[in-house]
Structure 1
């Protein structure tokens, strides 16, 4: 399943400003105050646009798209707890049958769009069919190969062909006939493409600028590069929606904002900016400003954990084809230096990672197959290289990194640690487009090592493991940048995906985690932390254990 990396598709703040725990009660003027219905929430972003076409969106359940579109299922997110699946448009989280190959959902009563027309099962089917059309691609695609193996289906717009693996026997029932058993289908049903689109609508390329809304708000005004204004959908029935609070009367996205200006506005905390939430990165100088401002520091929330940052080793390249050589990197890398390069110190950056599955997911086991100090063990790495026939170490390796978000500085910390172990690398810094072309698309890419990070798209270990390590994800835009290809692992991934019981599936994913790390295709670095700055009148800014992003559904304005 080829789709965009979540971290590049969401405008989530990663300010990393303070070591306070997630959802600490602030010490500022809003401490103890409760949000009330009403008011206007302002979301400040450096992005020039927002994507409101669900077929093209990678937005998580807790972020921007949820204001306008609902999905079959949703997530219950809370601090200190694993995220669980709950119904959204459906009455339950889906009924599997036929060993997990067939899933049936029933829509709730009294579901309406913002124009007052009823939401029907055929609309969910139509929305999914739209996602197969080339003109409306770009969103998460977990569903596609399961509904149309080999992506033979090309959408409904050429000849009006329907996708016969989705059945809608009546207006309330939708049945999915999958190509193979898939235990996470109920989680997949929470991805954007499962938002309903009225059958026959959305043929135009700019549907994202005037979508039909099923959520608590509709898009009242959209001006690219300036703003997107969301107003209440009077036909949204709170009794049918257990996860969206929908406190504000309006939500205004201020688009194309300069990050330094956003930071200053939120620090100053005056006028409408008291009702604002920032979604853009801040420079180190801006971070220092906030650290020195007691009021601003009181308006920060920080995640418990976050994305897995890791060093991928090109397992098809030179000496890195040998697992024994790759094992040396587990000891050569200085993870403590990487923490400092990421956010100034270890506590701000996030905990050191030793597993592939990130915290907060069912079945995750904490283990460390290569125990060493945070600074690594260069001598141990040298011994392993010598035992693998490389007594003089390695030379001439190419380390690729992105040029944004401190990529060069992080790469330099890796470079220095490897040099101490006799591994010499040259850093190649690329912009996002060049990075994608070289690392993810090129048939024979010119790199040995690559710095990456990954936040799963759904709260399942499946979304941690499959995109990064299944052989089908090598090249063609996939995210298997270690180019790891092992039939045994492919088989185990398919078996785990087919397991319907979540606890049993969790055990299988944990074993796969251990088996992959035994081959050392990657070096886990840290589980990155995210922090958010908001105005003094914005309340309920909480972050669950997963994902490491603030839950926009809970935001409200303090009178």
Structure 2
């Protein structure tokens, strides 16, 4: 199963669950939301064809949707959101329910937001900061598992808080001095807080409407659409929220009158229906399925089909992870040998070619923006440098090569096979260890069972170096037992101090430059072998307009799409 399915339609399983993935470069598109004539786009029914079954529902506390997700962004507004424009500017965080992206104080440990006036739910009730506080608090409940871990880590008292349903319902580090003001008190500096405030956990939830586990079937909408019918695993139909107003929401065009989402379709069926574009399928897009290789190849000879392809990227890196606590990868010369011997061309070809993947020599991909600093400390060329690798192995005490086991998700055999063939040229024998997809994360991210060498992927929860580098290289994020993503188990107090310093920077550009510097610094240690980043290519029906791929998730911005 590729990253494109894992980051599915509206749950968007996200970056912190191990083998996630996605991309490089700038997105191309037919238009941007800012340039589109919103006055003439209203009407019609947009069809969405998805593989996701969405059988867990649509509770904002349980969703993990970077940048607001696809479908959730239609139902839920948050304090901030991503800028609804194509290209690199789409990485920018902008106000949503709030009047600005947040006022920071005390070295970015206190963040204050004020709500816009006139905000209402689909039931006509006003949205208050108490609702936002309650929505966040319920995401801490063990009954509603699935949300990202940042709030639990960042908020004072968050690590011990159990949600609003127990004997201590209040999280004091979130204050609401009035109905329009909310203040967050953090235990450490976090300059990226405005990006976190775009996650669905910041969607308001009226306490009187909370039905606990059952809320996922009929959540109260604060966005431009509300749920008309929802048959989990089959179909979801959205209609307009009549209380939503464009005067308070500049980021969602909300053009179609109705959005009809078909669930549980196969990727082959989705690709065939979008390519044929017959009947209602002319009004269709997908939010979780890339075009297949055959259709992509056919498009080169069919201009009409090619014109309906849109490309874009979500920041991710697929890489080889070394457990530096285990031999032979406690030896940097061995790690460097693996870096020199890799054949990135073979890996890109295994993904379907350069249209679908781009080789990487850095941990941070180009699609992350200013945090990308190009470097190649162990130049392997296009197909590897086995001679250099053999030299380093000999220096490390392995003149006759070595044999190691490579753990990989059994859904990704093509990458493992490409690596096995490349490393054989350098005298490295890879014994392949396929692990079932359902168990792969739990095995690899458990410090007691983590293998010496594994194939892994990482994607950013928002376009910044912070969620890309911190979980992978901050020693304080090493989790004994399960849920550890610092697979190198790298622990350097000086690096941790650098991370803390960068987190105090609230100027986005300056912060990203600093993250890029840190990536380039850590890269010299060969703690990973970056392999490639995936490129997203998606198809839409002939009657769909204003399609572009956003730079937070690598999918169509459904809130801007319209039908002719």
TM-score (norm 1): 0.90
State the secondary structure of the residue aligned to 2:381: coil
Tell whether 2:397 aligns with 1:399.
no
Mapped to 2, the partners of 1:38 and 1:292 lie a distance apart of: 33
In 1, are the aligned partners of 2:79 and 2:203 still within 8 Å (CA)? Answer: yes
Tell whether 2:46 aligns with 1:38.
no
Deviations 1:453-499 (A, max 9, x none): 22211121101101222232445223223333333323322332232
1:447 corresponds, among 406, 427, 451, to 451
Tell whether 2:349 aligns with 1:340.
yes
Q: For residue 225 of structure 2, what is the aligned residue in structure 1?
A: 217
Mapped to 2, the partners of 1:408 and 1:89 lie a distance apart of: 45
Q: For residue 118 of structure 2, what is the aligned residue in structure 1?
A: 110
In 1, are the aligned partners of 2:462 and 2:552 still within 8 Å (CA)? Answer: no
State the secondary structure of the residue aligned to 2:178: coil
TM-fit CA distance, 1:20: 12
In 2, are the aligned partners of 1:538 and 1:556 still within 8 Å (CA)? Answer: yes
Mapped to 2, the partners of 1:76 and 1:408 lie a distance apart of: 37
Q: For residue 507 of structure 2, what is the aligned residue in structure 1?
A: 501
State the secondary structure of the residue aligned to 1:79: coil
The farther-off stretch of 480-489 and 377-386 is: 480-489
TM-fit CA distance, 1:321: 1.0
| Structure 2: stretches of 5+ with no match in the other structure | 13-23, 32-36
Tell whether 2:81 aligns with 1:74.
yes
Pick closer, same or farther for the CA change 1:305–1:186 going to 2, 3 Å. closer
Mapped to 2, the partners of 1:462 and 1:540 lie a distance apart of: 31
Pick closer, same or farther for the CA change 1:546–1:120 going to 2, 3 Å. closer
Pick closer, same or farther for the CA change 1:33–1:142 going to 2, 3 Å. closer
State the secondary structure of the residue aligned to 1:398: strand
Q: Which runs of structure 2 are paired with 1:17-416 in the superposition (5 Å)?
A: 22-25=27-30, 36-49=41-54, 51-60=57-66, 61-82=68-89, 83-149=91-157, 151-159=159-167, 161-278=169-286, 279-280=288-289, 284=293, 294-303=303-312, 306-343=315-352, 345-395=353-403, 397-404=404-411, 407-416=412-421
Mapped to 2, the partners of 1:226 and 1:545 lie a distance apart of: 29
1:424 corresponds, among 405, 429, 433, to 429
In 1, are the aligned partners of 2:223 and 2:241 still within 8 Å (CA)? Answer: yes
Mapped to 1, the partners of 2:102 and 2:486 lie a distance apart of: 30
The farther-off stretch of 290-299 and 175-184 is: 290-299
State the secondary structure of the residue aligned to 2:559: helix
Q: For residue 546 of structure 2, what is the aligned residue in structure 1?
A: 540
Q: For residue 16 of structure 1, what is the aligned residue in structure 2?
A: none
State the secondary structure of the residue aligned to 2:524: helix
Q: For residue 460 of structure 1, what is the aligned residue in structure 2?
A: 464
In 1, are the aligned partners of 2:359 and 2:533 still within 8 Å (CA)? Answer: yes
TM-score (norm 2): 0.90
State the secondary structure of the residue aligned to 1:318: coil
Mapped to 1, the partners of 2:51 and 2:553 lie a distance apart of: 21
TM-fit CA distance, 1:78: 3.3
Deviations 1:410-432 (A, max 9, x none): 11111111111111111222232
TM-fit CA distance, 1:543: 1.9
TM-fit CA distance, 1:541: 1.3
State the secondary structure of the residue aligned to 2:88: coil
In 2, are the aligned partners of 1:35 and 1:539 still within 8 Å (CA)? Answer: no
Q: For residue 18 of structure 2, what is the aligned residue in structure 1?
A: none
TM-fit CA distance, 1:316: 1.7
Q: For residue 17 of structure 2, what is the aligned residue in structure 1?
A: none
Give the length in aligned residue pairs.
Answer: 540
